[in-house]
A and B are shown apart, each in its own frame.
Chain A
Amino acid sequence: MIPITTAAPTGVAPSPAPNAPGPAQLLLRALQRDRLAAFGAAIILLVLVLAVFGQWLAPFPEQGMGATNASARNLAPDAAHWLGTDQLGRDVLSRVIMGANPALTISLLVVTAAALIGIPLGALAGYRGGWVDEALMRVTEVFQAFPPLLLAMVTVSILGPSLTNAGIALAVSWWPWYARLVRAEARSLRERPYVEAARAMGIPPALIVGRHILRNCLTPILVQATVDIGSVILAAGSLAFIGLGTQPPLPDWGLMVAEGRGLIFSAWWVSTFPGLAIFLAVLGFNLLGDSLRDLLDPRQVKR
């Protein structure tokens, strides 16, 4: 829920090591070195497949989208319904499979939007310094003074609960993390000899920022984004659980857990499997992201 590393607790800017690896290289190394990272990547791959091909993989696609079947309510898992049916007779497996698409879509959109707002602001503040930097840092501090999710919850409450508004609210509360991450990187890169050389050659600032600063921030941004996609899935599911996200009858893992809440002792499968889906999806992104971060930040790896 909280992007864990961006705050750089000790106040030290995370700076890429000399010969910082590219994203693809980093990913390959993590997968080879670390079984948990590979496990995480496998989960992510599964979620991706479900998100893209879900409507063809689900045994009852119309029920996945909300069609009810009154004659088959609260059936325990069996051969026809592997994960049972819910209180409206809908196949839980189909709804879990078809929940992958909205979960992944919203988290990709939120992270992209947060990055698109945060990265330019952070690069500008870090590269320019001075009052621009000061102003941006104060603004991000105010945003970060809200406990995680609280600002998003308030925003959704005011805009009205829906998946779209939940996405907007999450993006609004997420961008400061990217701004701070890029700012820290930009500040440390600004003083590098090659950036100074580019400045001395009279290359316009916009070009320097684009070519030297942003390109070198790419890997840490992607690592952060990996963790954040998981965090947003969790956040969106949480919002939906309390009624501030996706509305029925759409398939949303958090909403499905809420719908089965009252049945936990009589029909445990209704809540258990959608919740498991959130857990596994978030776990996948966190396992992979954690491993990538260890590789990226050599201070932490002492093996």
Chain B
Amino acid sequence: MLRFVARRLITSVLVLAVLTAIVFILARIVPSDPAVIYAGPKAPPAELDRVREHLGFNRPVLEQYFDYVAKLITGDWGESLATKRPVLDELAARLPATLELIGAAMAFAVSAGIILGVVAARRPGRILDGTVRFLSIGGISVPAFWLGLLLQLVFVGGLGLLPATGQFSNTIKYSDPITHVTGLPLFDSLITGNATAFTDGLQHLILPALTLAAYPLGLIARMTRASMLEVMSQDYIFTATAYGLREGAIRWRLALRNALPPVLTIVGMASAYALTGTFFVEAVFNWPGIGQFATSSMLAVDYPAIMAITLLGAAGYLLANFIVDILQARIDPRVSAS
């Protein structure tokens, strides 16, 4: 098991290294001059030279790359051309909001997806199965940004049940300020017993989390159904039925456990989707997370920020797959042996 983990870690680091190189090359062939973005379009030539000196653009590309990697490792991820602040600070300030959003969405998608998949596999081809199939294909077909607007239209504009945008109401920080414990605001409000802030945050979280969950939910439900159907046709299920085990026990205990490995794999892919899906959801719900920073950086060709976001996204994806692999190896001992 330990060797398995170590091997996966080494490949992940290698992939990240190649990835930085690709993004760095991409950023270096950029047609627009980053110094202009930094200093503004009307900056005099002398000022531009000074900026190039400051940001190190006048040195050989290879040198710049090694310099960049060395700084990455020491925690210096460069300075945003747009905000002039260290990129790492910008990301750190926004990470908690995004983590809570993705966490809530994935928790909902995994639990609801597995339940729907198992239920659909009970009677394949029947109405319930067809409905779940339509829902799950619908989930992977719907544009997140549009689903978010529709939910706003119905639950905010129509029913007036939930707030439209933001992570907390503006008044919360004066009336019931959240004590900093872990840095995750909603979680902190819960463990410090700040009920007003928690309820408020939860209300703000529901719509964006549902929106972000649609695609992962569809993927997971579909895969659970297929995997359950395959497992339910195995001989040992037949045997268990013959022994007189209750149907529910067979399905939810015996079969589901053996159907989980492919589902876990798809959960890894689904969380990768959530990493970029959050860009669009945050835009619609004005969620103060990394996604909004990412889109504005890309529109502004703020390349130190873009590179940092790409690295963070890829690292997040690798981490998700890493966790999936370890869970996989725990469920199925054959995985770590191979």
| A interface residue numbers (CB < 8 A to B) | 1-2, 4, 7, 9-10, 36, 141-142, 145-151, 153-161, 230, 234, 237-238, 241-244, 254, 257-258, 261, 264-265, 268, 271-272, 275-276, 278-279, 282-283, 286-287, 290, 299-300, 302-303
Contact in complex: A141, B149 (CB < 8 Å): no
Partner of B273, one of A2, A145, A300, A302: A2
Please name the residue on chain A nearest to B134 by beta carbon.
Answer: A36
Give the contact stretch, choosing among B169-177, B204-212, B243-251, B262-270.
Answer: B262-270
Partner of B15, one of A145, A151, A238: A145
A-B interface, 9 closest residue pairs, ranked by CB to CB distance from nearest: A275-B146, A157-B298, A9-B265, A283-B141, A282-B141, A147-B275, A265-B157, A147-B272, A149-B276
Contact in complex: B153, A272 (CB < 8 Å): yes
User: Is the C-beta of B88 less than 8 angstroms from some C-beta in chain A?
Assistant: no
Please name the residue on chain A nearest to B143 by beta carbon.
Answer: A278
Contact in complex: B276, A150 (CB < 8 Å): yes
B233 to chain A, nearest CB (A): 5
> Chain A contacts of B276 at CB under 8 A?
1, 147-150, 153
> Chain B contacts of A241 at CB under 8 A?
143, 145, 280, 283
B66 to chain A, nearest CB (A): 19
Contact in complex: B15, A283 (CB < 8 Å): no
Determine the distance from Cα of A282 to Cα of B125 in the docked complex, in whole angstroms: 23
Partner of A146, one of B223, B265, B310: B310
> Chain B contacts of A272 at CB under 8 A?
146, 149-150, 153
Contact in complex: A244, B298 (CB < 8 Å): yes
User: Is the C-beta of B318 less than 8 angstroms from some C-beta in chain A?
Assistant: yes
Chain B residues 7-47 with CB under 8 Å of chain A are 15-16, 18-19, 22-23, 26-27, 29-32
Most buried by A among B22, B140, B143: B143
A124 to chain B, nearest CB (A): 21
Partner of B138, one of A271, A278, A283: A283
User: Is the C-beta of B73 less than 8 angstroms from some C-beta in chain A?
Assistant: no
Determine the distance from Cα of A257 to Cα of B142 in the docked complex, in whole angstroms: 13
A13 to chain B, nearest CB (A): 15
Please name the residue on chain A nearest to B233 by beta carbon.
Answer: A302
Contact in complex: B146, A142 (CB < 8 Å): no
B190 to chain A, nearest CB (A): 29
Partner of B219, one of A4, A242, A244, A283: A4
24 A-B pairs in the complex with CB atoms less than 8 angstroms apart: A2-B269, A4-B219, A4-B222, A7-B269, A9-B262, A36-B137, A146-B317, A149-B276, A150-B309, A150-B313, A154-B310, A155-B26, A157-B299, A230-B141, A237-B143, A242-B280, A257-B149, A265-B153, A265-B157, A276-B146, A279-B143, A286-B141, A290-B133, A290-B137
Partner of B146, one of A243, A257, A302: A257
Known contacts: A9-B265, A279-B146, A302-B230. The answer to whether A154 contacts B23 by CB under 8 A is yes
A31 to chain B, nearest CB (A): 16
B56 to chain A, nearest CB (A): 19
Most buried by B among A9, A157, A160, A268: A157
Determine the distance from Cα of A190 to Cα of B19 in the docked complex, in whole angstroms: 32
Determine the distance from Cα of A242 to Cα of B144 in the docked complex, in whole angstroms: 12
Number of B positions contacting A (CB below 8 A): 69
> Chain B contacts of A282 at CB under 8 A?
141-143
Chain B residues 170-188 with CB under 8 Å of chain A are none
Determine the distance from Cα of A265 to Cα of B283 in the docked complex, in whole angstroms: 16
Please name the residue on chain A nearest to B137 by beta carbon.
Answer: A286
Known contacts: A157-B301, A300-B229. The answer to whether A238 contacts B269 by CB under 8 A is no
B303 to chain A, nearest CB (A): 8
Chain B residues 227-259 with CB under 8 Å of chain A are 229-230, 232-233
Determine the distance from Cα of A37 to Cα of B124 in the docked complex, in whole angstroms: 16
Determine the distance from Cα of A243 to Cα of B261 in the docked complex, in whole angstroms: 38
Contact in complex: A158, B15 (CB < 8 Å): no
User: Is the C-beta of B226 less than 8 angstroms from some C-beta in chain A?
Assistant: yes
Chain B residues 123-177 with CB under 8 Å of chain A are 124-125, 130, 133-134, 137-138, 140-146, 149-150, 152-153, 156-157
Contact in complex: B157, A264 (CB < 8 Å): yes
Determine the distance from Cα of A260 to Cα of B206 in the docked complex, in whole angstroms: 23
Partner of A234, one of B32, B143, B150, B306: B143
B215 to chain A, nearest CB (A): 7
A234 to chain B, nearest CB (A): 6
Partner of A257, one of B134, B143, B313: B143
A284 to chain B, nearest CB (A): 8
Partner of B215, one of A1, A36, A159, A244: A1
Contact in complex: B273, A158 (CB < 8 Å): no
Partner of B299, one of A1, A149, A243, A290: A243
B25 to chain A, nearest CB (A): 10
> Chain A contacts of B23 at CB under 8 A?
154
> Chain B contacts of A234 at CB under 8 A?
141, 143
Contact in complex: B266, A9 (CB < 8 Å): yes
Determine the distance from Cα of A235 to Cα of B180 in the docked complex, in whole angstroms: 38
Determine the distance from Cα of A158 to Cα of B302 in the docked complex, in whole angstroms: 9
